[in-house]
Structures are given as structure tokens and as C-alpha cells.
Amino acid sequence: MIDISMPRLSDSMEEGTILKWLAAEGAQIKRGDELAEIETDKASMVYEADQEGALHILAGEGDTLPVGAPIAQLLAAGEQPSQAGSADTGTAAPEPAAEQASVAPAPVPEAAAVAAVAEAGNAAGARVKASPLARRLAAGAGIELTALAGSGPGGRVVKADVERALQAGAAPQSNGPAPSPLAPPKGEVEIVELSRTQSLIARRMAEAKATIPEFTLQCEIDMEAAVALRTQLKGLAERQERQVPSFNDMVLKACALALREHPRANGTYKDGRFELHPRVNVGVAVAAADALLVPVVRDADTSSLWSIAAQSRRLALAARDGTITPPDLAGGTFSVSNLGMFGIDAFTAVINPPQAAILAVGSLAQRAVVREGQLVARHTMTVTLTCDHRILYGADAAEFLGSIRELLEQPLALMG
């Protein structure tokens, strides 16, 4: 018998949700067969078998389990499934007779009302087997789980069963007094459940603000030479049928070269020591559907500007259409966030832990500036560097930001 546990599919993954089993109960599995689609904290991945045997499913679709928890077993011919693993599947064991007796429910806080409905199950008998997601959906729609025929393993009610009931027009069941006719002063509240990616973002941003002693530096960069260089590159790219580097690609390359020159900015503070990373992997923030993803351009310091342009386009498209993979999101040592395309002149970005810093890029536009005592129009851009003060000090950060500015104001260095 081979136990299959919830795999760790990304470096920050702590738990995963089984979206769909791609193999049926009892199916004969071979190495490389697709077993299940699993949602991680960063993306959805197909998990493939690395062993052989008959599949016995322990965790249902919609179940969320920590990394390492059993989700299935592979059985040899004539072998019976182990009962030990089934304890972690979320399937309830029969309750003692005394606990099955009808008892008047005590008042519960409003915040626990939905959970109470979901856990109610069959008031006259054993608790209905259902995935946590199916319970939440049924509770929200007012559908009794006892009225549904489960299609999951062992008759378990899963998300698809609830959705079929909703499409068929199942009548909501009333479990309490009629609601008050008086509308809430703020109107009817819409509850939006966070996706796993949104939950991770919320947790990591709260961690960053609570644990990182940050400070920010800001400077204005004269982009006149960069604008002229991109005009030349655009003509060259059209003739060679290549991707035209954007100004953000130039920023990525400038950051990568500056990180190589200032290794502490490419490091991490961890457990009272500095960890300096040998590779320069720059993440670029991408606004995806209801989430913020940071795909990583690897070895950006040794990649050409043309290569960075191609990589960043591919990663941005994958992030927006939902095909991004965990490896594309892992291994970043520094991040860049650009809101200039939205007309934002300057802003402060939140550090993506455990990185040492993040660069926020504002809009590039012609502005009135003073040059040699004369008021002239120049293309300028404001950037803001947010730093972890435990690894980057003021002077270090100022020199690092100065290197970025120098590279962008003399952009021929980016072509090396």
C-alpha cells in the first residue's frame, strides 16, 4: 500500500484544495497518470502519480488539507485500504447515541450562524458526509444536505451536487424564524469568500507590515535618454520581428544590474543573519483577475534587454489568463511594481517578504523641470524604494537607488 499525501507544489504552500479528481475510485494507476487537480496558494496544478496501484480516494473534491496530509492510497492486487488514513479525510465518524439525541440549540453569535447551519446535517440521525466547500455553498443557498444525493466517494456530497441542486431549482429550507422586514441600515451585505491566492496575499501583506521595519526613499529620474533609446529599439524590433522592450523592461534590467552591484539589496534578513542570494531574480507585479501575482524574471542581470522583454510578456499573459505555474512565481529576490500606466505619479509598495526591498514605479510623462537655469519640458519618472531596515540601511539603500537612476539616465548600459 502506498500513501499519497498532499504535495508541496510551491515554496510557500502550506495547504492545498482538491478541485477535481481526474482518476476514478478503484482505477488502476500507472506512473505519470494524472490523479487530481490541486489548487495551491499560487495557482492550480495537475498532480501526477509517481507510483502504481489501484486508487482509493480519501479526500473529496473541495477538501482543503495541509501539506503532508493523506489524500489517497494506491493498493496492490487484493490489498484492502487502510483505515488509519480515512480519519483525516473530513468524513465524520458515527456519533455516540447520546450526542444524536435532539437537544434544543443554544443561541449562537451571528458570525457563527452559517457554520451552525452547515454542521447541522441530519437532525434525526448521523451527520451527512459532505466536503467543507459543499457545506458552505448549501448553507448559503438554504439547501438541506440531507436532500442531496452525494456523487463523491462513499456518497459524499461535493460542490457539483450542490450546484446541480441550484440549477434544478431546489427550494431553500427554512431553519429559523422569518427575517425581520426591516432592512439593515447599510443594506444587504454581500459576503465574498477569498480565493486561496487572495488569502495568501492578505496574510503576507499583513505579515510584511507587522514584522518588517520599513523605510522609503524616493527620487525623480530623467528618462529623456531612455525615451530616445526605446524609439531606436522600436524600429530595430520591427525589422527583426522581435518584442519591443518597454520602459518597465528597462527598469527591470536597471534593477538587476544594480542588485548585482549591491548584493545586500538582493538578500534576505532571516534569523538574525543576512542571506545573500547568488542569482538575481526580479519579480514584476501583475494585476490578474481579483489577485496580484508576481511572476519572476530569472537571472535578469545576465539576460539581455530583448530576453527580459520576451520573458516579461510571456509571464504577464500567463498570469492574466490563469495559466501561470508555481515555478514561474517562485524564487524572486527583488520586486518591481508599476502603476504608471494608470496615471499614478508616485506610490509606496509593500515589501514582498522575505525580500529586502521593492521598487514602486510611477508614470513617465513630460514635466516642467529646470535645466541649467532654464525651465524646459523633460520626460521624467518618479520611483519609490521601500526597504527592510534590518538588512538595508539608509546610505546603502540610497546608493542602490542611485545606481538604478544612473543606469536609466544612461540607458546604453542596459544593452550590455
- Asked whether 312 and 255 are in contact (CB, 8 A), the reply is no
How many other C-beta atoms are found inside a 10 Å radius of the C-beta of residue 238?
10
Residue 389 annotated among the catalytic residues of the structure: yes
Annotated catalytic residue, options 56, 262, 277, 389: 389
Q: Report how many helices (DSSP H) and strands (DSSP E) the chain contains, helices first.
A: 10, 18
Q: Quote helix, strand, coil % in the chain, to nearest 5.
A: 35, 25, 40
Buried b (16+ CB within 10 A) or exposed e, 388-404: bebbbeeeebeebbebb
Helix axes 247-261, 394-409, angle to 10 degrees: 130
- Asked whether 195 and 291 are in contact (CB, 8 A), the reply is yes
* CA gap 60, 56 in Å, rounded: 11
- Asked whether 286 and 312 are in contact (CB, 8 A), the reply is no
- Tell me the CA end-to-end span of the chain in Å, nearest whole number: 56
Active site positions, annotated: 389
